[in-house]
Amino acid sequence: MSGIAILAIDGPSASGKGSVAQRVAEALGFAYLDSGALYRLTALAAQEAGIDWSDEQGLAQIAQSLDVRFEKDLTFLGGQDVSGLIRSEVVGAGASKVAAFAAVRQALLARQRNFAVAPGLVADGRDMGSVVFPGARLKIFLTATATVRAERRYQQLIARGESADLVAITRDLQSRDERDAARKEAPLRQWDDALLLETSQLSLDQVVECVLSWWKTRTET
């Protein structure tokens, strides 16, 4: 990864980091890594293989052998388009459970680092700046209140034609936050070398503009 510019964006579920990271990557001409997709794929593959989300070794084996392919906005697992499946609330909850296991995180570490290609990479997740790319040139912790994040997720689901319960979504996000922050392996939190970006009152365009401005400042100094 020597000489490859990396911008790491971490934050809780539904904070908007994926949308922001994609836009920033396009603006910079960088590759993009949605690390959460790998955990969602692991959860989905395990479910299809009949492996319980509490079976750490079984999950690690699944993660190690994932047959994954990313093509623009599509995600394939074993040749099957699972772009919609991995974005379901059920798989998302499974991904949060799967991600708590050290063996799973270790199995996916090298795969994530392989996304770092010239001229640069924008990576989003929970531990991009702390574990996967500790030498990232810019690290951002992007967040919003649970209420705002739940409303955003609710609107996403409605837009996709799915049924949604705002109260249930809020409760689920709060549970994920607690689980992600309490896990022993790469807990979710803002690290000392990461800049905080609170987006509750900002539009997507405003957030992207802010990140690009910070990147310009960091790379020019």
Residues in binding site = 11-19
Q: How far apart are CA 44 and CA 26, in angstroms?
A: 28
Q: Mark residue 63 as left, alpha or beta (left: phi above 0; alpha: psi -120 to 50; beta: remaining).
A: alpha
Which amino acid is located at 168 in the chain?
A
Strand partners, 75: 70
Peptide bond into 119 cis (omega under 30): yes
The b-or-e profile of 39-71 (16+ CB within 10 A means b, else e) is bbbbbbbbbeeebebeeeebbbbbbeebeeeee
Q: Which of 146, 157, 136, 207 is nearest to 181 (CA)?
A: 146
101 contacts 59 by C-beta, under 8 angstroms: yes
- What's the rounded Cα separation, in Å, for the pair 77 and 135? 30
> From the annotation, which residues make up the binding site for ATP?
11-19
Q: What is the dihedral of CA 82, 55, 16, 24, to 10 degrees?
A: -70
